[in-house]
Structure 1
């Protein structure tokens, strides 16, 4: 239990896992969006969004709290067993509350046509609870969750092509989504016995009382987060129609997966940062924090350039010509590629380890309120473009509040400002490639996208090496030294 793999190895494993969550949707989403059409896709998104509110209640902010607090005692098997058991007990209780709330809204007349789909989708609440996914992040067991995720993604992909064949197969599509979650979480539950022993016998209110206050703050954060992340879908579905929801879903798909990929970097270090902070290893803590922030910017800059320039090709690739109205929406959401990962970094890598959940709470509440207000004003006139604008504004407000309330805790070394300039300069040639390749009008959009990504990626990293950007250049030198050593 006390032997943990290096941060670099964990990052590679988690990067592969998250990358697979991009690769598989790049296969499944284009197929599903064409087969189900924008109306069926809108229905799927609406149902899963509604269920996500009850998943939120069941989760009750347990995941992030369990990772940060559990990391402090993870080398003590007895204490960890007790802690995980208490978390699981709380999670079972919140799951029951979530299902009570779900049953109440299930019989609302508005949901009559969605009831069958809601029943299928709501099973994820149970499987997410018993899956205790947070345990594996707590003990930094990224190898297992990566292999497990890939296996179930492959199986789900095969079943998708077998069972989802026309616009009437919405239930099958949702069912396969549930299958991927259920399979992974059932496996988690049994596999967890290799690391801990869960027993809820003898757990009393006095044992869990100490966890409730910080968890309540994290739950508040989660509620506010879901409101400003999902209110656009909910309000679009209510104020407009399923087609608009489908167009918006297509526009946000690539943005979401890129944000998730970028955030995977900081997710890996949450437990390690908490461990460093609780053991007074200040130098290691701030050094890791600074390096993670720089690496985030290293990925964010080219992602923003690429998303803006390739918006039409991205929509054609993942959804098809019927969804081309989503192109302006994709470009509006480019700003979110910067705001969302940095907000996540500030909240969970800076504030969480030092127990500043209150700042996260107020910043997220500010984002939620502003998003609802902006949606009310913008959606009636601009539909999905208005929803995108509201999302970007909300993320911006979250960042402003976080910096205003917590600026004394955000201690990122500023002596590397020139490194960010090098990153920006290295990304600029992407515009040149875009202009040159655009003139080749006869080129297939898939070939165009492939050439653009290849040329831009090679040029970006080559320029970073030429300009001697800290992170990339140091890794390049290490690789060269290793090659020379092997040749001797």
Structure 2
């Protein structure tokens, strides 16, 4: 399947992941309140840390190795069987450790349901093998499965969540959706591979897996450490504010980072075939794509943070508005980091460099969280997150430039930045007509998008016209012209 179609299906996946929280979170946040959201966010963050611990870095490593084996059925089945076996055995050990930790820990003393749901959350993740379908480029299956799962989630949320005490049901629905996706993924895999236990070679995978595992675990720790440390050094409501703010930013990140995973198999193939110019071209297009979308998105988020929080979570979460503004730069930072890490370092077998960057970022994150959260609470967690991600960006950029001599089109970057700054006077003019309400938000966002597109058209921006406007005109043909 071509990159264009893969991107379309991955974009559909991303669109689903964007729309579902937009539809559900405003309702859930208003029913459960900051405390309920805080409790479930803490539980999810803790469980995800153990899920990453059990995954052993296979979700990224597996994409690359499956992509290399694609086209050879015997090799594909062997590689799949090796990776699934490693994942399963290690996951059982991690699940046992988590069970022991739950038994002896007093973390969930008053939350028995949350305790057992956390255990089931980790257990169900063993069957999530999206890395296999990404490696063989079956993005259509991933998108359809995700869509079905999300529809089920939406239905159950609106039917079952009725009062603040239903926060455990909120987590139950998430775990149920996760478990059903895992079961279907495993069952469907038999159409593509034959699982075997004969002639497997685990040793060749261990070194790269352990390096990527260390990297992914470190990422998971610093991504989830903010929520975990907020729970211990602050009050549950602060966790709720932070969760609401980070949720908005992550929703916007989905569309911007959707291209990254799609390109891993293709770039891995180009590197294997020694085609440096093709790799360089893809990387430069990816950078331009991220910058083109990131600057206007950041500007719109900063200028409408209060409106977004009011619409998305309700007035009870208004303290999160400043957090949204502070987190907005992550849209660009993480978008670029994903390019350097997932499109260059991982396909180039430079897991060690990726790990170095992440470990440095992890140390900075822990130090800053320890210093800032007790003083600034959720604002401290946000500052730590932004500095951490910026550190990761700088280091992955440094290591990537050693491998691929891609160019940064500074003129193009400056152009997109300056056009995005036009949103400031636009916001002021619209606010004179509409008060700070839903009408202001809708009018401003619509006007800003139109202004951005019209200015780019007036300037005859080649990248915008060739890779965004032309595909829109032609439906989906020639998407990104990759």
Aligned residues between the structures: 474
Q: Say whether residues 1:473 and 2:465 are aligned partners.
A: yes
Q: Say whether residues 1:361 and 2:355 are aligned partners.
A: yes
> Conserved in 2, the CA contact under 8 Å of 1:69 and 1:274?
no
- Normalised to the residue count of structure 2, the TM-score between the two structures is 0.94
Name the structure 2 match of 1:486.
none
CA distance in 1 between partners of 2:109 and 2:66 (Å)? 43
Alignment of 1:140-159 (within 5 A): 140-159=137-156
C-alpha distance 482-92 of structure 1, shift in aligned 2 (>3 A): closer
Alignment of 1:164-175 (within 5 A): 164-175=161-172
Q: Say whether residues 1:91 and 2:114 are aligned partners.
A: no
Return the match for 1:311 from 293, 305, 327. 305
Question: Which has the higher mean CA deviation after the structures are superposed, 32-41 or 456-465?
Answer: 456-465
CA RMSD between the two structures = 1.8
Name the structure 2 match of 1:422.
415
Name the structure 2 match of 1:457.
449
Q: Residue by residue, what CA displacement relative to the aligned partner does 1:55-109 show, whole Å, maximum 9, x if unpaired?
A: 0111110011111122112111110110001000001011111111111210212
Q: Which has the higher contact order (CA 8 A, sep 6+)?
A: 2
Quote how far apart the aligned CAs of 1:413 are: 2.3
Quote how far apart the aligned CAs of 1:209 are: 0.7
Q: Residue by residue, what CA displacement relative to the aligned partner does 1:329-366 show, whole Å, maximum 9, x if unpaired?
A: 11111121121121121111111111111111011011
CA distance in 2 between partners of 1:386 and 1:410 (Å)? 36
Secondary structure at 1:102 match in 2? helix
CA distance in 1 between partners of 2:260 and 2:238 (Å)? 33
Q: Say whether residues 1:186 and 2:183 are aligned partners.
A: yes
Quote how far apart the aligned CAs of 1:122 are: 2.5
- Normalised to the residue count of structure 1, the TM-score between the two structures is 0.93
CA distance in 2 between partners of 1:71 and 1:194 (Å)? 17
C-alpha distance 406-477 of structure 1, shift in aligned 2 (>3 A): closer
Q: Say whether residues 1:127 and 2:101 are aligned partners.
A: no
Name the structure 2 match of 1:268.
262
CA distance in 2 between partners of 1:463 and 1:188 (Å)? 45
Quote how far apart the aligned CAs of 1:480 are: 9.9
> Conserved in 2, the CA contact under 8 Å of 1:121 and 1:175?
no
Return the match for 1:301 from 295, 317, 320. 295
Return the match for 1:215 from 202, 209, 220. 209
Q: Residue by residue, what CA displacement relative to the aligned partner does 1:122-165 show, whole Å, maximum 9, x if unpaired?
A: 32323322231111111111111112211221121111111110
CA distance in 2 between partners of 1:118 and 1:308 (Å)? 37
C-alpha distance 36-65 of structure 1, shift in aligned 2 (>3 A): same
C-alpha distance 451-123 of structure 1, shift in aligned 2 (>3 A): same
C-alpha distance 295-106 of structure 1, shift in aligned 2 (>3 A): same
Secondary structure at 2:164 match in 1? coil
Quote how far apart the aligned CAs of 1:177 are: 0.5
Q: Say whether residues 1:348 and 2:342 are aligned partners.
A: yes
Unaligned runs of 5+ in 2: 476-482
> Conserved in 1, the CA contact under 8 Å of 2:337 and 2:397?
no
C-alpha distance 420-405 of structure 1, shift in aligned 2 (>3 A): closer
> Conserved in 2, the CA contact under 8 Å of 1:346 and 1:410?
no
